[in-house]
């Protein structure tokens, strides 16, 4: 088990650092090419579209095949796409459309990585140990949120192609680390299982979520809260036009997201939250909205840095709760399909949220878009408090995944 945990955490650090470095470099490159907030929104849409379009393929793949090999293979293909971005960045580019095309290719491979990778923690430890592993998994992820943007900022200042070269190397290292994980026991999918046929299997994750208000409430809360509060997507515009900093300053702003989340996750690793789970989830979404408003209102780099760290700390608590709760509410033979659907929800909240922020930012300006997004996030938390009483009253995590009858 120790080898599997080391492999999982190493893979997470490498692949997540690559992803956050890429997002930072892409945002800077696109804004340098066009100077339009709207194009930052199109970038988010290009990242999101593959996961949404492939959701009914990626989930069954994660359930029917060795999840380690799915992650390793798809991450290796991501590395190829990253090298394509490096080659284009080195060619003195003048158009953003090749960037968008390469991002769609990268997102296609990423769509296969996400559900398989997120199912692995529950594959390698018992249910009672999952909150502790999720906290450590989150620390690895949050560390990448610090390393990736800072690395990308410095490398971009030297040469815009270098962040993408670093991405490719990190993705290959992550693919190799995934194969250190010991293969979990295969999951039998019986012919009388509603997910046994390919078409029904494709929709099983969505049906499973819709039939369980607690699961639906937790996942959809993240979707709508971050959809409106997607301030991070506008950081390239905020950094240059409102705070007056370049690539290095932008890298540190992006890193503040990881710093706040990492500090919070470190506390959760020592003392995982075990009680008042539902109320805590809703309260931290409100805090996320409040600090988003502060970010949109300030002209101070220091205040912006602190606001980003604080809102990401609130989000880290939300991520910890959801990442522990969803696997424990999902049987193993449906976990890949459920997490594929959740990945679309997360992608919608992040990348589609970036598209929404870019559209509103083009219309109202980046600061106003961020402030109105924060207000909308608080409104979402208030509505979910009333509409999902099962979520609001949830006290502790389930002790084991739900068992689904096969009769």
* Domain definitions of the chain by residue range: 2-181+211-392
With beta carbons less than 8 A apart as the criterion, state whether 260 and 382 touch: no
Distance CA 115, CA 260 (A): 25
Distance CA 132, CA 134 (A): 5
Q: What is the pTM of this model?
A: 0.65
Catalogue the E-assigned strands of 129-271.
none
Position 163 pLDDT exceeds 60? yes
Closest CA to 293 of 176, 228, 374, 376: 374
Instruction: Choose from 1-15, 68-82, 241-255 the range with maximum mean pLDDT.
Output: 68-82
In this prediction, residue 220 carries a pLDDT of 79
Q: What does pLDDT average to over the chain?
A: 79
In this prediction, residue 127 carries a pLDDT of 62
Position 154 pLDDT exceeds 80? yes
Residue 279 Cα to chain centre, angstroms = 22
CATH of 2-181+211-392, one of 1.20.1250.20, 3.40.630.30, 1.10.3720.10, 1.10.240.10: 1.20.1250.20
In this prediction, residue 361 carries a pLDDT of 63
Tokens encoding 369:
């878009």
83-125 pLDDT tens trace: 999 999 999 888 889 999 999 999 899 888 887 887 777 777 6
Distance CA 39, CA 45 (A): 10
């Amino acid at each position: 088990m120790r080898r599997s945990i080391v492999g999982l955490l190493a893979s997470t650090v490498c692949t997540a650092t690559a992803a956050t470095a890429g997002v930072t470099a892409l945002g800077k490159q696109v804004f340098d090419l066009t100077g339009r907030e709207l194009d930052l929104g199109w970038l988010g849409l290009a990242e999101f579209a593959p996961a949404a379009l492939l959701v009914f393929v990626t989930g069954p793949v994660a359930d029917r095949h060795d999840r380690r090999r799915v992650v390793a293979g798809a991450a290796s293909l991501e590395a190829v796409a990253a090298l394509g971005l490096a080659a284009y960045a080195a060619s003195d580019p003048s158009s953003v459309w090749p960037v968008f095309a390469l991002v769609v290719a990268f997102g296609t491979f990423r769509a296969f990585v996400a559900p398989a990778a997120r199912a692995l923690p529950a594959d390698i430890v018992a249910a009672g140990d999952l909150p502790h592993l999720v906290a450590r998994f989150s620390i690895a992820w949050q560390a990448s949120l610090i390393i990736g943007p800072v690395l990308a900022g410095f490398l971009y200042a030297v040469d815009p192609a270098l962040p993408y070269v670093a991405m490719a190397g990190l993705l290959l290292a992550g693919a190799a680390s995934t194969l250190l994980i010991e293969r979990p026991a295969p999951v039998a999918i019986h012919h009388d299982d509603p997910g046994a046929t390919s078409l029904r299997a494709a929709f099983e994750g969505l049906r499973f979520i819709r039939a369980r208000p607690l699961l639906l409430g937790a996942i959809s809360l993240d979707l709508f809260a971050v959809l409106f509060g997607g301030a991070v997507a506008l950081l390239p515009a905020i950094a240059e036009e409102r705070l007056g900093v370049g690539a290095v300053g932008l890298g540190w702003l992006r890193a503040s997201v990881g710093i706040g989340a990492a500090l919070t996750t470190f506390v959760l690793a020592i003392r995982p939250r075990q009680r008042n789970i539902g109320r805590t989830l809703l309260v931290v979404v409100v805090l996320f909205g409040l600090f988003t408003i502060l970010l949109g209102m300030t002209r101070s780099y220091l205040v912006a840095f602190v606001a980003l760290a604080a809102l990401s700390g609130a989000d880290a608590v939300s991520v910890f709760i959801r990442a522990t709760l969803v696997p424990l509410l999902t049987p193993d033979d449906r976990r890949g399909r459920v997490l594929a659907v959740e990945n679309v929800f997360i992608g919608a909240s992040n990348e589609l949220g970036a598209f929404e922020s870019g559209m509103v930012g083009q219309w109202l300006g980046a600061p106003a878009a961020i402030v109105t997004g924060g207000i909308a996030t608080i409104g979402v938390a208030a509505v979910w408090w009333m509409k999902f009483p099962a979520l609001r009253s949830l006290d502790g995590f389930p002790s084991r995944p739900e068992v689904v009858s096969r009769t």
